Amino acid sequence: MPGDDFDRRRFLGLCGSGLLAAVTGCAAPTTPSDEPTDRTTEVGTARPTRTPQATPASTSPYTRVYREAIDSVVMVEAGGAQGTGFVFDAGHVVTNAHVVGSASTATVRFTGGEWRTGRVVGTDPHSDLAAISVTTVPTAARPLPFSQTDPVIGQEVVAIGNPFNLDGSVTAGIISGVDRSIPAPTGFSIPDAIQTDAAVNPGNSGGPLMSLDAEVVAVINSGGAENIGFGISAALTQRVVPELIETGDYRHSFMGITLTDVTPTIAAANDLETARGLIVVEVLDDGPAAGVLQPSEVRFVGGEQVPVGGDIMLAMDGTELVTSEDLGSYLALHTRPGDTVELVVIRDGARQRVELELGSRPENGLG
């Protein structure tokens, strides 16, 4: 996450001297190996193994989710960055693209202390997802299941990760919003994102946001603001990661336009009875929509710049487009480059149907 170093220094600076020494010790560089680490006390004796006791706290749903998932959650270190990941299948770990950056290898530490050196087999900066191949996975580290139902606002969730290098930390909260659009490292947006108020900080990147059924609802992407964190949805992750494993990259559908939601002001300027749909603001000259969709012109209306004319998109393949998030989520979850989609638009005051063949998103540019 951006600002990891600054946030970590500020966090450590607030600690007392005793706690500071403990935290600094946990965060100190270690030498990776394929053997479990031998944690000792200050006098050099092995720490006793604690057997979980049946207590009221152990019946907590958060405790249950943590215990079911923690063996599959890992710390990821690559190119000087540190984050979180989790077991996706028998030989792969998923994390954020911004955690691995341009690194070709990463070190992965499992909760039992086992270190593995993994190969970064695929990254997709557009969705901020990456896949790491790990030759041998500890027996207890099983693939975490993904939720197959749409998350709902108010649903309780648990975030597991390594904030500020504090490995195996858990926080709880609710889903605060769905179908969000959040910035991607490429300048585009990541659609269908999940918003949560569970505490998410630097080091949580790439970790699982889980339901109380111990299923992944999102891959944590960003956080640090008060009561606001975001994750890449389970639905998008399940589309992207298998292709990263198979081919090394992922191609996103691309229209080559910019647009904005139709507001009451825009509706009035375009003689529309109701404020609905998305007005096309710009069409990329050599993009898929060139010659198919018509852009608007910016005019001053009541001292305000307003797009006037051009196409107003109402639906795609029968799915109503109320907001730009609706369009982004439909493209991401239901289409692929090369597909032909049917658009319902308002053009010159009349409703029309037009067909558009989708292209493949470039590294940077219009959406």
Rounded to 5°, angle at Cα 253 from 279 and 364: 80
Kindly state the tokens that stand for 148: 């197959």
Single-letter amino acid code for the residue at 79: G
Strand partners, 359: 254
Q: Exactly one of 92, 98, 126, 252 is catalytic; which is it?
A: 98
Q: Exactly one of 176, 205, 222, 296 is catalytic; which is it?
A: 205
98 is catalytic: yes
205 is catalytic: yes
Greatest pairwise CA separation for the chain in angstroms: 82
CA–CA gap between residue 309 and residue 295 (Å, rounded): 7
128 is catalytic: yes
CA–CA gap between residue 139 and residue 189 (Å, rounded): 37
Q: Exactly one of 71, 124, 128, 192 is catalytic; which is it?
A: 128
User: Taking a C-beta distance cutoff of 8 angstroms, is the pair 136, 112 a contact?
Assistant: no
Single-letter amino acid code for the residue at 4: D
Single-letter amino acid code for the residue at 266: I
Tell which residue, 91, 119, 90, has the closest CA to residue 103.
119
Q: Which residues are identified as catalytic? A: 98, 128, 205
